[in-house]
């Protein structure tokens, strides 16, 4: 298929649909799995936490290696990439299903089973993610097209998050897993019919893939990664602390929590087309900067809220979700442009996205590793009514992300915008 035509909705959903099951599978692993193993099988939370942490660390470490493996597959043929994607889909579906329905009982066997299934699931998930992201980057195009490619992937990913949050409660866990498996198979089929790298400006080259460390020799990548990490931590901190803020600062009933989360993700999805319309006028980096500035304003306002301000916080969630749209669509598009401008398009996308995904997981770990100890140091404990402790919670949830966003915006301007001709 020619890449001279516009990347429209048909090309968009065929490529982007894989984002739905990839996002769908992530939420149960973070939210549902600990509760499921603790309640159904009586596994101690400390033990389960150690298993999850170990599997997650393994997952993060192998991302760059999977990226280099992906580059080797692209150098071989697109058919090899799609076949590897099919294997990864099969292993992901198998590991995910077996993780929630283990055939063993007893704490020792269950612990071993969960460990093996987690490693299998995370490895297949990361391999599939790297291949799919690298495919999109290799499609090439100008900045608006690159942003549309990423927006389709991330927008359908948001739909996956919404479905993953609803279906286990509405239909039950078995039905939710069945829906995931159907979505995964359908997404792989759609991927096989999507636009293909190598039939236009992008191309791909054969031969031995470059070093996994090659991206760090590119100043543009180092600059973009610095902005991405700081901004990612700024976004992950409120995600980590949101339920504490809702329950203890706002005193909101539990039934409102899904509404807050739903408005956040739905507005992020709805805002994606609006942000994309700004890209041809402002460019990718300036549009991302606008999203950062909106987020800062929203969390400064959130810091003024107190008990009973439920409606106002719903609006905060909607506006924060709107700002999130830039974080989803634009950094990946900037990375694709960085790869092309560095002369690495068509040969090292896997290495770049391997490190990119490593940084994404590092952001989540650092957010929890910074915010939670700070809260404890400042005297906050869940359920407290102490005014000083609640102010510490507000500072960590609202003002710490603002400070990090200001730093990210400054880095974006200094390292990227000011150096762009």
Most confident of 137-141, 200-204, 214-218, 413-417: 413-417
Note whether 14 and 193 are within 8 A (CB). yes
362-392: per-residue pLDDT in tens? 887 777 677 777 888 888 888 888 899 899 9
The answer to whether residue 176 scores a pLDDT higher than 80 is: yes
In this predicted structure, what is the pLDDT of residue 2?
40
CA distances, 267 to each of 159, 261, 274 (Å): 11, 10, 11
44-103: per-residue pLDDT in tens? 766 776 777 778 788 888 988 998 899 899 988 899 999 999 999 999 999 999 998 888
DSSP element (H, E) containing 274: helix 257-282
- Residue ranges of domains in the chain, CATH in brackets: 1-198 (1.20.1250.20), 211-421 (1.20.1250.20)
Output the average pLDDT for the chain: 86
In this predicted structure, what is the pLDDT of residue 1?
42
In this predicted structure, what is the pLDDT of residue 327?
93
Q: With bands split at pLDDT 50, 70 and 90, how would you rate the model's confidence at 205?
A: low
7-22: per-residue pLDDT in tens? 777 888 999 999 999 9
3-class SS string, the chain: CCCCCCCCHHHHHHHHCCHHHHHHHHHHHHHHHHHHHHHHHCCCHHHHHHHHHHHHHHHHHHHHHHHHHHHHHHHHCHHHHHHHHHHHHHHHHHHHHHHHCCCCCCHHHHHHHHHHHHHHHHHHHHHHHHHHHHHHHHCCCCHHHHHHHHHHHHHHHHHHHHHHHHHHHHHCHHHHHHHHHHHHHHHHHHHHCCCCCCCCCCCCCCCCCCCCCHHHHCHHHHHHHHHHHHHHHHHHHHHHHHHHHHHHHCCCCHHHHHHHHHHHHHHHHHHHHHHHHHHHHHCHHHHHHHHHHHHHHHHHHHCCCCCCCHHHHHHHHHHHHHHHHHHHHHHHHHHHHHHHHCCCCCCCHHHHHHHHHHHHHHHHHHHHHHHHHHHHHCCCCCCCCCHHHHHHHHHHHHHHHHHHHHHHHHHHHHHHHCCCC
Rounded Cα distance between 99 and 93, Å, is: 10
In this predicted structure, what is the pLDDT of residue 209?
62
In this predicted structure, what is the pLDDT of residue 151?
87
> What six digits make up the tokens of 322?
């709107």
The answer to whether residue 202 scores a pLDDT higher than 50 is: no
Give the mean pLDDT of 309-317: 95
246-292: per-residue pLDDT in tens? 989 999 988 888 888 888 888 998 998 899 899 999 999 999 999 99
% of the chain residues with pLDDT over 90: 43
In this predicted structure, what is the pLDDT of residue 181?
95
């Amino acid at each position: 298929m020619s890449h001279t035509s516009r990347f429209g909705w048909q090309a968009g959903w065929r490529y982007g649909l894989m984002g739905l099951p990839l996002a769908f599978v992530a939420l149960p692993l973070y939210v549902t799995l600990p509760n499921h193993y603790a309640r159904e099988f009586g596994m101690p939370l400390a033990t389960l936490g150690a298993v999850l942490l170990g599997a997650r660390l393994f997952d993060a470490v192998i991302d760059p290696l999977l990226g280099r493996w992906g580059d080797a597959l692209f150098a071989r043929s697109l058919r090899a990439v799609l076949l590897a994607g099919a294997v990864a889909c099969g292993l992901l579906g198998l590991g995910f299903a077996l993780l929630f329905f283990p055939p063993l009982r007893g704490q020792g066997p269950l612990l071993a089973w969960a460990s093996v299934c987690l490693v299998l699931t995370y490895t297949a998930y990361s391999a599939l993610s790297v291949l799919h992201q690298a495919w999109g980057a290799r499609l090439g195009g100008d900045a608006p097209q690159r942003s549309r490619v990423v927006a389709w992937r991330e927008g359908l990913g948001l739909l996956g998050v919404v479905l993953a949050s609803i279906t286990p409660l509405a239909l039950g866990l078995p039905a939710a897993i069945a829906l995931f498996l159907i979505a995964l198979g359908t997404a792989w089929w759609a991927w096989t019919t999507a636009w293909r790298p190598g039939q236009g400006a992008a191309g791909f080259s054969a031969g031995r893939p470059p070093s996994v460390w090659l991206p760090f020799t590119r100043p543009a990548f180092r600059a973009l990664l610095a902005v991405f990490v700081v901004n990612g931590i700024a976004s992950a901190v409120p995600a980590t602390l949101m339920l504490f803020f809702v329950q203890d600062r706002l005193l909101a009933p539990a039934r409102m929590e899904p509404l807050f989360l739903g408005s956040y993700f739905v507005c992020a999805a709805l805002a994606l087309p609006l942000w994309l319309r700004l890209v041809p006028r402002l460019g990718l980096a300036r549009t991302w900067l606008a999203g950062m500035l909106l987020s800062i304003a929203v969390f400064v306002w959130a810091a003024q809220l107190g008990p009973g301000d439920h409606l106002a916080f719903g609006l905060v969630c909607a506006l924060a979700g709107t700002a999130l749209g830039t974080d989803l669509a634009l950094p990946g598009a900037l990375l694709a442009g960085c790869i092309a401008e560095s002369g690495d398009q068509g040969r090292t996308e896997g290495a770049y996205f391997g490190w990119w995904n490593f940084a994404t997981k590092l952001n989540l770990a650092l957010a929890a590793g910074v915010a939670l100890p700070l809260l404890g140091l400042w005297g906050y404990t869940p359920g407290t009514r102490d005014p000083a402790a609640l102010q510490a919670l507000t500072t960590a949830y609202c003002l710490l992300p603002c400070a990090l966003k200001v730093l990210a915006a400054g880095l974006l301007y200094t390292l990227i915008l000011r150096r762009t001709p």
